[in-house]
Amino acid sequence: MERIAVSAVRKSFNLKPGQTVTVDGVTSSRIAVLDGVDLTIDSGEFITLVGPSGSGKSVLLDVIAGLTEATSGVARIDGVEVVKPHARTAYVFQQYALFPWRTALQNVEYALEVRGVPATERRERAKDFLHLFGLKGFEDRFPSQLSGGMQQRVAIARALSTDPQVLLMDEPFAALDAQTRDILQSELLRIWEQIKTTVVFVTHSIDEAIYLADRVVVMTARPASVKEIVKIDLPRPRDLEIRNSEAFNAYRGRVWESLRDEVGKAQRDWTLASTYAN
């Protein structure tokens, strides 16, 4: 069953006053970021999104999340056009977006509180999800008392505790060291196997993209569209060891080949891109 449908989504932004961009000899004060993105995602699918840095992956997630409006085209969840943040969509960012003044437990509870879950129930539920992510005994710690990996576990526990139909993850493990990242990837898969929510996960790691996904979506350089979709037919549940298999290696080559040209284009575009950086 189709859960997310992105149809012909285009997005452009006005540049800062006085700035212009020249593409193919045409000078404009707007920057085109998404250029007709089409993508349908089934209920319970795990999709990973790879593409050159600055290609528009975060903007695409924002459109699906209802955090930003498409310039044209439409994103739908269960057939309904996304016009504002959806109560059953959860978002996990690269930076641990936890409230520093709330404990781990209170951070998870917060998501339930805003959804009107009664106090006793939300405490139980928040605890269950922290335990699921191996945080038993850390409920009363403040974010500053937790490692980066633990903070990101809390953020994921918080997102999943709301029972989302759609979980959007924007490079959630990018700031973590390699080992912690490996552990969190397999934990995320273990929990996803149980709940099978629909996940759209952005990463710049090809290995992470393949290991997690049912399908890897390769985006073109900006202005982005879907370049290629690689179906990952590796058995589940997946062990980290699978990354050493021949099949995995073949996917690695395949995805890299698709991505390589786009990364090249994005690099040629680098001087241009750097003018938009904040």
Q: Can you give the binding site for ligand ADP, defined by CB under 6 A?
A: 13, 31, 33, 51, 53-59, 222, 273, 276
Closest CA to 92 of 65, 60, 131, 128: 65
Closest distance to Mg ion from the beta carbon of 170 (Å): 6
Nearer to ligand ADP, 147 or 275 (CB): 275
Nearer to ligand ADP, 159 or 266 (CB): 266
Closest distance to ligand ADP from the beta carbon of 146 (Å): 26
Q: Is 217 exposed, middle or buried (0-12, 13-18, 19+ CB in 10 A)?
A: buried
CA distances for 75 relative to 54, 80, 191, angstroms: 21, 8, 27
Nearer to ligand ADP, 162 or 225 (CB): 225
Task: Tell whether residue 48 is a contact of Mg ion (CB under 5 A).
Answer: no
Nearer to Mg ion, 150 or 255 (CB): 255
Of residues 84-123, those binding Mg ion (CB under 5 A): none
Residue 197 backbone phi and psi in degrees, to 5: -80, 165
Which of 56-64, 70-78, 85-93, 103-111 is the region at the interface with Mg ion (rule: CB under 5 A)?
A: 56-64
Nearer to ligand ADP, 126 or 219 (CB): 219
Task: Tell whether residue 58 is a contact of Mg ion (CB under 5 A).
Answer: yes
Closest distance to ligand ADP from the beta carbon of 225 (Å): 13
Which of ligand ADP, Mg ion, none does residue 125 bind to, with CB < 5 to 8 Å depending on kind? none
**Residues interacting with Mg ion, by CB under 5 A?**
58
